[in-house]
């Protein structure tokens, strides 16, 4: 029972640290995503021909396997590396090709050159052991970082022996 409690505490601390550290370290001042938020509010990637049911890989592992794949109901791709999409889902995979989770958002502007994105509206990050929900989100593929900007909620799912953190 003690091991169970220790593992739950470890998971809670890890998840809470991931959500709160940017704020505690002064990194969540908005400067990282201010340009993307302004571009999302503006006309970046609004023009051009609409694409229905867009799917394309966002990132690969060094081995060549896909790490993240973007799916969008509707999207437009603009010069400068910007993709504006609505009703998105980003599937996340392990290096062995197993699905590890997904990210959903109502609307998103992604800069393919910078590998950064800003999502507006309801967002969720779902993984086997934890879910993060909230409103508005910044993400950076290069930094492997996601910041939920407001109304964040953390859900820790049922703990199962043999999963990460079980020692």
Domain ranges of the chain: 2-156
Residues, the chain: 167
Q: What is the mean pLDDT of residues 136-160?
A: 88
What ranges make up the beta strands (E) of 26-113? 51-60, 66-77, 82-93, 99-111
What pLDDT is attached to residue 165? 53
What pLDDT is attached to residue 162? 64
Q: What is the mean pLDDT of residues 97-123?
A: 93
Range from 53-57, 81-85, 147-151 carrying the lowest mean pLDDT = 81-85
Residue whose structure tokens are 């302004």: 38
Distant-in-sequence contacts of 160-163, Cβ < 8 A, 24+ apart: 163/128, 163/129
CATH superfamily, with its number, for domain 2-156? Lipopolysaccharide (LPS) transport protein A like domain (2.60.450.10)
Give the model's confidence band at 26: pLDDT under 50 very low, under 70 low, under 90 confident, else very high. very low
Residue 3 has pLDDT above 90, yes or no: no
- Cα(12)–Cα(57) distance, rounded to whole angstroms? 31
Q: Per the structure block, which two tokens stand in for 14?
A: 């890890």
Q: What is the mean pLDDT of residues 36-47?
A: 81
Distant-in-sequence contacts of 26-35, Cβ < 8 A, 24+ apart: 28/147, 32/138, 32/140, 32/147, 33/116, 33/118, 33/138, 33/147, 33/149
Q: What is the mean pLDDT of residues 79-83?
A: 81
What pLDDT is attached to residue 2? 41
């Amino acid at each position: 029972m003690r091991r169970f409690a220790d593992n739950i505490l470890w998971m809670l601390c890890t998840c809470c640290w991931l959500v709160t550290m940017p704020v505690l370290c002064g990194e969540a001042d908005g400067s990282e995503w201010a340009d993307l938020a302004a571009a999302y509010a503006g006309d970046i990637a609004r023009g051009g021909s609409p694409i229905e049911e867009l799917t394309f890989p966002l990132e690969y592992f060094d081995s060549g396997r896909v790490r993240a794949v973007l799916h969008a109901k509707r999207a437009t791709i603009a010069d400068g590396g910007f993709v504006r999409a609505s009703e998105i889902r980003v599937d996340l995979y392990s290096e062995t090709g197993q699905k590890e989770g997904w990210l959903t958002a109502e609307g998103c502007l992604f800069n393919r050159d910078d590998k950064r994105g800003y999502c507006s509206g309801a967002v969720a990050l779902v993984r086997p052991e934890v879910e993060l929900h909230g409103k508005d989100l910044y993400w950076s593929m290069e930094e492997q970082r996601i910041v939920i900007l407001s109304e964040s909620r953390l859900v820790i799912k049922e703990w199962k022996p043999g999963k990460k953190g079980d020692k």
